[in-house]
């Protein structure tokens, strides 16, 4: 028997029955056979060893195809597990998925792997890669898989296999004597894995549950070429230098303490940044028709049952009891804004109503996922809820897009990615309501000419949402702004407005945020600008550095004049040489340094240094301060 397949260029090729993707690649050219990593057959990503199907559309995939990078990383995770089992036979293997920029694999071991262990494991991985072991796909019944892992004393794999419905066929991959459950696909052989690096270890729990066994997680990354790996490692080094946790400590911005896990303490300098962000947003709210409100922290649990949070979100909430009455700390502001709206009777003429709330919210995050400012348990959002008629919805969404762009431009976030997240499994409201909501957001994005992708099932439980990701200075994506359409919550709270014909309608609620969590945004901004905040945000905007004691009196006057203009100025009167003072100001990333000696004191001038541009020469004091003041006011 023979079979015929169709290539992407519409040409066809015929083979004997049983031919594989490798046979196809080899028939085209030896070079392609050497470069091929996998195939796409009738749109399905498959192993190069997969048999070809008669009449199928088949494409050969190489390193030039984006999806093959995850293929390499997943195969490298298997290589890692094989190396660990060879060096540490008593280690029990967990799971090893691909993640953004790399992969990890979990192991249960008597003592966690040391940095020296990682070096040994990486050496063993390179040895195994050099053997060019073939990865062989095997299919077996669930019962056979359980017995196989029982014979190997792999409890986590036994649990995974038993979790599959009885009678179902499982797939796995064998390389040498190592076998692992996996759907695949994988690279043809270990020799295709040429550029990888183990990065670090961390504690983890089996299936992410703190009640389960603690595991040691090894993180790594892999690329097609050593050049790509080297470039990535260089970016990681830069990222470590920009780590907001490191810079936050060095710049005296915030700290964390075990008395309040995953809850930041903002120091005076960090609080300046925090408050400047609030002031900036408030200045925009005044122009864009928002009304700021303040709402309580703890509310009766009945409120959260009405809103749907108790049913759909309670595992992320904190509860307490006072006077035999159960309360919850608010994880979101939206139900409290429903209560405010409901205190008055509204006409269609009153809408839209735009509430803004900088209220603190509390959400339980497992200790294993909290991370610096970017994942905390208590935070403030630049939260807003818009009550509007269905007819006003598109106008409000369009205005929000403009608002968001203005803010992101201020911070230099020019590359913004957009996603539309659709209905999750756990949700409120009918399918008809979700159809309306998703359609409204998609049409608004289309009309705005925005390029976006769909995140299926990633919407909030009360409505679909648009998510905005910005790329920082290292081209890393961070999710900031969101916009959600919600028909359900206003109905659950019985909110109404009077229509032009005198009948009653239910308003649509738009949930929106631009920066998102202020804590998280500050962490992202620290890394984006490497701690060198724009002058308007810098905790100290000007450092006044007298060279000698004789200049102290004039330096005091310079500080007073700066403070009169609202410039945050710091005076360094330490008995240190001027180079040491400049170096300290540079380390603290203060935008401007005003160096003052006898000549400057006599002439009413200052010698200006900028943290980035260096020496700016001598300038009249008033002109210098006015220039800095203008830069601050314009939020350059």
Q: Which residues are catalytic?
A: 334, 363, 381, 383, 385, 465, 511
Interatomic CA distance for residues 105 and 87, integer angstroms: 15
Which residues face 175 on adjacent strands? 178
If one counts every other C-beta atom within 10 angstroms of the C-beta of residue 337, the result is 27
Interatomic CA distance for residues 178 and 137, integer angstroms: 12
**How are beta strands 542-546 and 592-596 bridged, if at all?**
parallel
Closest Cα partner for 359 from 299, 273, 437, 443?
299
Tell how far CA 337 is from the center of its chain. 28
Over the range 135-165, which residues count as b (16 or more CB within 10 Å of their CB) and which as e? Answer: bbbeebebeebbebbeebebbbbbebbeeee
If one counts every other C-beta atom within 10 angstroms of the C-beta of residue 435, the result is 12
Reduced to 3 states (helix: H, G, I; strand: E, B; else coil), residue 278 is helix
DSSP E strands in 109-255: the ranges are 136-141, 169-175, 178-181, 195-205, 214-223, 254-255
The count of C-alpha atoms lying within 13 angstroms of the C-alpha of 215, restricted to the half-sphere facing its C-beta, is 25
Scan for tokens 């169709």, then name that residue: 6
Within 88-220, where are the H helices? 115-130, 142-152, 155-162
The radius of gyration computed from the CA coordinates of the chain, to the nearest angstrom, equals: 30
Interatomic CA distance for residues 28 and 13, integer angstroms: 10
* Residues sharing a CB contact under 8 Å with residue 273, sequence separation 6 or more, in sequence order: 253, 522, 533, 537, 539
Tokens of residue 362, six digits: 């509390």
Interatomic CA distance for residues 181 and 154, integer angstroms: 12
Which residues face 494 on adjacent strands? none
* Whether the Cβ atoms of residue 550 and residue 514 lie closer than 8 Å to each other: no
* Phi and psi at residue 263, to the nearest 5°: -130, 110
Interatomic CA distance for residues 38 and 69, integer angstroms: 11
Closest Cα partner for 360 from 518, 253, 478?
518
């Amino acid at each position: 028997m023979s079979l015929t397949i169709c290539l992407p260029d519409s040409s066809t090729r015929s083979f004997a029955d049983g031919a594989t993707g490798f046979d196809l690649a080899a028939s085209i050219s030896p070079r392609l056979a050497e470069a091929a990593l996998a195939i796409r057959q009738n749109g399905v990503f498959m192993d190069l060893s997969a048999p070809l199907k008669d009449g199928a559309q088949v494409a050969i995939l190489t390193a030039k195809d984006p999806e093959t990078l995850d293929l390499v990383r997943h195969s490298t995770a298997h290589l890692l597990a094989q190396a660990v089992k060879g060096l540490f036979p008593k280690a029990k293997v967990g799971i090893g998925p691909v993640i953004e920029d790399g992969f990890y694999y979990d192991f249960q071991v008597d003592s966690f792997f040391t940095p020296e262990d990682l070096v040994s494991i990486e050496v063993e991985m390179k040895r195994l890669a050099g053997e060019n072991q073939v990865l062989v796909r095997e299919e077996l019944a669930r019962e056979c898989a359980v017995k196989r892992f029982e014979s190997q004393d792999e409890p986590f794999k036994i649990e995974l296999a038993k979790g599959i419905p009885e009678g179902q066929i499982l797939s796995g991959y064998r390389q040498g004597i190592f076998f692992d459950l996996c759907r695949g696909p994988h690279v043809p052989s270990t020799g295709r894995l040429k550029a990888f690096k183990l990065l670090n270890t961390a504690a983890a729990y089996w299936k992410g549950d703190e009640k389960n066994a603690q595991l040691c997680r090894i993180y790594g990354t892999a690329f097609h070429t050593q050049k790509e790996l080297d470039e990535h490692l260089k970016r990681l080094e830069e990222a470590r230098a920009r780590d907001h946790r490191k810079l936050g400590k060095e710049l005296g911005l915030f700290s964390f303490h075990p008395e309040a896990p995953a809850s930041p303490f903002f120091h005076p300098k960090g609080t300046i940044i925090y408050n400047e962000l609030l002031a900036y947003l408030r200045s925009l709210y005044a122009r864009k028709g928002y009304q700021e409100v303040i709402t309580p922290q703890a509310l009766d649990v009945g409120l959260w049952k009405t809103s749907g949070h108790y049913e759909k979100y309670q595992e992320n909430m904190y509860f307490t009891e006072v006077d035999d009455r159960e309360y919850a700390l608010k994880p979101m502001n939206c139900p409290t804004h429903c209560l405010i709206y409901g205190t008055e009777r509204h006409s269609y003429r009153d809408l839209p109503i735009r509430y803004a709330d900088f209220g603190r919210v509390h959400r339980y995050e497992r200790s294993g996922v909290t991370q610096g400012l970017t994942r905390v348990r208590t935070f403030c959002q630049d939260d807003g809820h818009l009550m509007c008629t269905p007819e006003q919805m598109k106008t409000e969404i369009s205005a929000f897009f403009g608002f968001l762009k203005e803010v992101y431009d201020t911070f230099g976030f020019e590359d913004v990615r957009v996603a539309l997240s659709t209905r999750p499994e756990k949700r409120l409201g009918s399918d008809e309501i979700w159809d309306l909501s998703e359609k409204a957001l998609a049409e608004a994005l289309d009309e705005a000419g925005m390029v976006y992708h769909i995140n299926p099932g990633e919407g909030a439980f009360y409505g679909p949402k648009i998510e905005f990701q910005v790329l920082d200075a290292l081209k890393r994506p961070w999710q900031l702004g969101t916009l959600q359409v919600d028909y359900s919550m206003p109905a659950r709270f019985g909110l109404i407005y009077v229509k032009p014909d005198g009948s009653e309608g239910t308003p649509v609620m738009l949930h929106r945020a631009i920066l998102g969590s202020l804590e998280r945004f500050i962490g992202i901004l620290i890394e984006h600008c490497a701690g060198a905040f724009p002058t308007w945000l810098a905790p100290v905007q000007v450092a006044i550095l007298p060279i000698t004691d004789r200049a102290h009196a004039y330096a005091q006057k310079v500080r007073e004049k700066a403070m009169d203009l609202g410039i945050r100025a710091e005076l360094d009167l330490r008995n240190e040489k001027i180079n040491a003072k400049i170096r300290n100001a540079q380390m603290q990333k203060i935008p401007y340094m005003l160096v003052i000696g006898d000549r400057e004191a006599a002439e009413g001038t200052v010698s200006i240094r900028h943290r980035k541009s260096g020496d700016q020469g001598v300038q009249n004091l008033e002109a210098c301060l006015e220039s800095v003041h203008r830069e601050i006011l314009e939020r350059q």
